Amino acid sequence: MPDAKSKAVFDYPAFLASAGIGRKILHLKPDHLFFAQGDAADAVYFLQKGRAKLTVVSKIGKEVTLMVVSDGDFVGEASMASIASVHLASATAITACNVLKIERAEMIRVMHQEPAFAEMFTEILILRGMRVQADLVDHLFNSCEKRLARILLIMAEFGQPGEPEPVIPKISQEALAAMVGTTRSRVSFFMNRFRKLGFIDYDSRITVHKSLLNVVLHE
């Protein structure tokens, strides 16, 4: 007979795929907000499918795109703070998104009771922190051209497990400029250059080729 004290392994993929107590699946259209900067941080959101962006707006109204997130990412982790907090950024759907909204109390319960889930969530946050650090180094030391190439490669998921998604979500040159930290005209110049060199194709959507890695890997 099995040990009465043994505990079934927690199936966190099933937990993140379904609604339940303290969990609700949302279907968001492009440009729909998960939450806005300054909203009460009362839930964590798991992106089941789609792409979204995190943005902040300064006191003078300037908007900056911090990063793009995709399937398997969490946003809204500020709600896990020990005291009541607010979201420091806005999360907005870029494409149609399926999102699991997990209420703060339920997220804290699962984190405390299920070590495998807590380990997975912590690993994702650590990887995001490393990416933010890499973005900072990128802005400090690399050219606008390299920063743009890196962002396009990240959005196409080169270097991630599985096959890359070469056709990236529709994104404006203004948004790319905000992420790179330059002007729209400079982004347009580099995009045209990448296209002429065969690194990308674009009409209404951008297709990223592996050859774009040459811009990042070489001076």
pTM of this prediction?
0.74
168 beta partners? 206
Q: Which helix (H) or strand (E) holds 201?
A: strand 200-202
Tokens 């890196």: give the residue: 150
Overall size of the chain counted in residues: 219
User: From first to last of its 219 residues, what are the pLDDT tens digits of the chain?
Assistant: 445 444 567 888 999 999 999 999 999 999 899 999 999 999 999 999 998 988 888 888 878 778 888 889 999 998 988 777 899 899 999 889 999 999 999 999 999 999 999 999 999 888 888 877 777 776 666 788 888 888 888 888 765 555 656 788 778 888 888 788 888 999 999 999 999 999 999 877 888 988 888 787 665
Q: How far apart are CA 108 and CA 118, in angstroms?
A: 9
Please name each of the domains of the chain with its CATH number. Answer: 12-136 (2.60.120.10), 142-217 (1.10.10.10)
Q: How far apart are CA 107 and CA 9, in angstroms?
A: 18
